[in-house]
Structure 1
Amino acid sequence: MPVPAGVTLLDLRPEPLRAAQPLGALLPHHRLVTLSLDEIEDARHGLTPADGPLLVLCERGVRSQLAARFLRADGLNAESYPGGLPALLRELPR
Protein backbone atom coordinates (compact mmCIF):
# COMPACT_ATOMS: atom_id res chain seq x y z
CA MET A 1 0.00 0.00 0.00
CA PRO A 2 1.53 3.34 -0.99
CA VAL A 3 1.60 6.08 1.65
CA PRO A 4 -1.15 8.56 0.76
CA ALA A 5 -0.26 12.22 0.39
CA GLY A 6 -1.31 14.45 3.26
CA VAL A 7 -1.20 11.88 6.05
CA THR A 8 0.66 12.36 9.31
CA LEU A 9 2.87 9.35 10.04
CA LEU A 10 2.95 8.08 13.62
CA ASP A 11 6.05 6.04 14.38
CA LEU A 12 5.53 3.70 17.34
CA ARG A 13 8.90 1.96 17.09
CA PRO A 14 11.31 2.10 20.05
CA GLU A 15 14.08 4.71 19.83
CA PRO A 16 16.86 2.28 18.78
CA LEU A 17 14.80 1.12 15.79
CA ARG A 18 13.82 4.69 14.86
CA ALA A 19 17.48 5.71 14.97
CA ALA A 20 18.56 2.74 12.86
CA GLN A 21 15.98 3.41 10.15
CA PRO A 22 14.49 6.92 10.39
CA LEU A 23 11.14 7.31 8.64
CA GLY A 24 11.83 10.97 7.96
CA ALA A 25 14.65 9.97 5.62
CA LEU A 26 12.42 7.46 3.83
CA LEU A 27 9.37 9.73 3.54
CA PRO A 28 10.65 13.31 3.73
CA HIS A 29 7.44 14.91 2.42
CA HIS A 30 5.23 13.62 5.24
CA ARG A 31 4.77 15.01 8.73
CA LEU A 32 6.21 12.57 11.27
CA VAL A 33 5.27 12.16 14.94
CA THR A 34 6.93 9.67 17.28
CA LEU A 35 4.83 8.30 20.13
CA SER A 36 4.65 5.24 22.31
CA LEU A 37 1.68 2.90 22.50
CA ASP A 38 1.37 3.85 26.19
CA GLU A 39 0.97 7.54 25.28
CA ILE A 40 -1.75 6.67 22.80
CA GLU A 41 -3.53 4.22 25.12
CA ASP A 42 -3.55 6.78 27.95
CA ALA A 43 -4.73 9.57 25.57
CA ARG A 44 -1.51 11.52 26.24
CA HIS A 45 -0.75 11.81 22.52
CA GLY A 46 -1.74 15.46 22.07
CA LEU A 47 -3.18 14.79 18.61
CA THR A 48 -6.32 16.49 17.29
CA PRO A 49 -8.42 16.16 14.13
CA ALA A 50 -6.44 19.13 12.78
CA ASP A 51 -3.44 16.78 12.48
CA GLY A 52 -5.27 15.26 9.52
CA PRO A 53 -5.47 11.59 8.67
CA LEU A 54 -3.04 9.53 10.72
CA LEU A 55 -1.12 6.51 9.45
CA VAL A 56 0.39 4.47 12.30
CA LEU A 57 3.52 2.34 11.79
CA CYS A 58 5.40 -0.10 14.01
CA GLU A 59 7.84 -2.97 13.49
CA ARG A 60 5.32 -5.52 12.19
CA GLY A 61 1.88 -3.90 12.19
CA VAL A 62 0.49 -5.42 15.38
CA ARG A 63 0.94 -2.55 17.83
CA SER A 64 -0.03 -0.04 15.15
CA GLN A 65 -3.42 -1.78 14.74
CA LEU A 66 -4.08 -1.41 18.45
CA ALA A 67 -2.89 2.20 18.45
CA ALA A 68 -5.13 3.07 15.49
CA ARG A 69 -8.12 1.63 17.40
CA PHE A 70 -7.33 3.79 20.44
CA LEU A 71 -6.93 6.87 18.24
CA ARG A 72 -10.24 6.23 16.46
CA ALA A 73 -11.89 5.86 19.90
CA ASP A 74 -10.49 9.34 20.63
CA GLY A 75 -12.32 10.64 17.52
CA LEU A 76 -9.32 10.73 15.18
CA ASN A 77 -9.02 9.48 11.62
CA ALA A 78 -6.34 6.79 12.10
CA GLU A 79 -5.30 3.68 10.19
CA SER A 80 -2.55 1.16 10.72
CA TYR A 81 -0.02 0.45 7.98
CA PRO A 82 -0.53 -3.29 7.35
CA GLY A 83 2.65 -5.29 7.83
CA GLY A 84 4.56 -2.47 9.51
CA LEU A 85 7.89 -1.10 8.37
CA PRO A 86 8.94 -4.20 6.38
CA ALA A 87 5.82 -3.86 4.22
CA LEU A 88 6.41 -0.13 3.78
CA LEU A 89 10.02 -0.72 2.69
CA ARG A 90 8.82 -3.12 0.00
CA GLU A 91 6.59 -0.35 -1.39
CA LEU A 92 9.24 2.36 -1.60
CA PRO A 93 11.15 2.92 -4.82
CA ARG A 94 14.72 1.69 -4.66
Structure 2
Amino acid sequence: MANPKTNSSAYWKKNLQTLIFLLVIWFLVSFGFGIILAEPLNTIKIGGYPLGFWFAQQGSIYSFIVLIFIYVVRMNKLDREFDVNED
Protein backbone atom coordinates (compact mmCIF):
# COMPACT_ATOMS: atom_id res chain seq x y z
CA MET A 1 0.00 0.00 0.00
CA ALA A 2 1.35 3.42 -0.98
CA ASN A 3 2.08 6.00 1.66
CA PRO A 4 -0.71 8.63 1.48
CA LYS A 5 1.72 11.46 2.28
CA THR A 6 4.07 10.42 -0.54
CA ASN A 7 1.13 9.94 -2.89
CA SER A 8 -0.18 13.41 -2.01
CA SER A 9 3.25 14.99 -2.52
CA ALA A 10 3.64 13.34 -5.93
CA TYR A 11 0.15 14.50 -6.92
CA TRP A 12 0.85 18.12 -5.98
CA LYS A 13 4.28 18.03 -7.60
CA LYS A 14 2.72 16.95 -10.92
CA ASN A 15 -0.09 19.46 -10.46
CA LEU A 16 2.38 22.32 -9.96
CA GLN A 17 4.50 21.17 -12.92
CA THR A 18 1.42 21.28 -15.13
CA LEU A 19 0.38 24.67 -13.79
CA ILE A 20 3.83 26.22 -14.23
CA PHE A 21 4.16 24.82 -17.76
CA LEU A 22 0.77 26.24 -18.79
CA LEU A 23 1.47 29.62 -17.16
CA VAL A 24 4.79 29.88 -19.01
CA ILE A 25 3.00 29.23 -22.30
CA TRP A 26 0.37 31.84 -21.44
CA PHE A 27 3.09 34.36 -20.53
CA LEU A 28 4.95 33.72 -23.78
CA VAL A 29 1.83 34.15 -25.89
CA SER A 30 0.42 37.20 -24.11
CA PHE A 31 3.54 39.10 -23.05
CA GLY A 32 6.13 37.67 -25.42
CA PHE A 33 4.18 37.65 -28.68
CA GLY A 34 1.80 40.49 -27.83
CA ILE A 35 4.35 42.97 -26.47
CA ILE A 36 8.01 41.99 -26.79
CA LEU A 37 7.86 40.42 -30.26
CA ALA A 38 5.04 42.61 -31.57
CA GLU A 39 7.21 44.60 -34.00
CA PRO A 40 8.71 41.59 -35.83
CA LEU A 41 5.33 39.84 -35.84
CA ASN A 42 3.64 42.92 -37.29
CA THR A 43 5.37 42.24 -40.59
CA ILE A 44 3.03 39.24 -40.98
CA LYS A 45 -0.63 39.98 -41.72
CA ILE A 46 -3.67 37.83 -40.86
CA GLY A 47 -6.94 39.00 -42.36
CA GLY A 48 -5.38 42.41 -42.98
CA TYR A 49 -4.26 42.85 -39.36
CA PRO A 50 -0.66 42.68 -38.13
CA LEU A 51 0.10 39.42 -36.30
CA GLY A 52 1.58 41.24 -33.27
CA PHE A 53 -1.64 43.23 -32.89
CA TRP A 54 -3.66 40.01 -33.29
CA PHE A 55 -1.71 38.28 -30.49
CA ALA A 56 -2.14 41.29 -28.22
CA GLN A 57 -5.88 41.57 -28.86
CA GLN A 58 -7.17 38.08 -29.61
CA GLY A 59 -4.39 35.51 -29.52
CA SER A 60 -3.74 35.69 -25.80
CA ILE A 61 -7.45 35.27 -25.07
CA TYR A 62 -7.82 32.29 -27.41
CA SER A 63 -4.67 30.67 -26.07
CA PHE A 64 -5.90 31.16 -22.50
CA ILE A 65 -9.16 29.38 -23.32
CA VAL A 66 -7.25 26.50 -24.94
CA LEU A 67 -4.95 26.31 -21.90
CA ILE A 68 -7.98 26.05 -19.60
CA PHE A 69 -9.22 23.02 -21.53
CA ILE A 70 -5.74 21.47 -21.51
CA TYR A 71 -5.58 22.00 -17.74
CA VAL A 72 -8.97 20.35 -17.22
CA VAL A 73 -7.98 17.31 -19.29
CA ARG A 74 -4.60 17.03 -17.55
CA MET A 75 -6.09 17.36 -14.07
CA ASN A 76 -8.76 14.75 -14.80
CA LYS A 77 -5.98 12.41 -15.91
CA LEU A 78 -3.95 13.16 -12.76
CA ASP A 79 -7.00 12.67 -10.56
CA ARG A 80 -7.59 9.23 -12.05
CA GLU A 81 -3.89 8.37 -11.81
CA PHE A 82 -3.76 9.20 -8.10
CA ASP A 83 -7.29 7.98 -7.39
CA VAL A 84 -8.62 11.33 -6.18
CA ASN A 85 -11.20 11.73 -8.94
CA GLU A 86 -14.79 12.69 -8.25
CA ASP A 87 -16.32 9.89 -10.33
> Per the shorter chain, which TM-score range?
under 0.3
Larger radius of gyration: 2
TM-score of the superposed pair, with normalisation by structure 2: 0.23
TM-score of the superposed pair, with normalisation by structure 1: 0.23
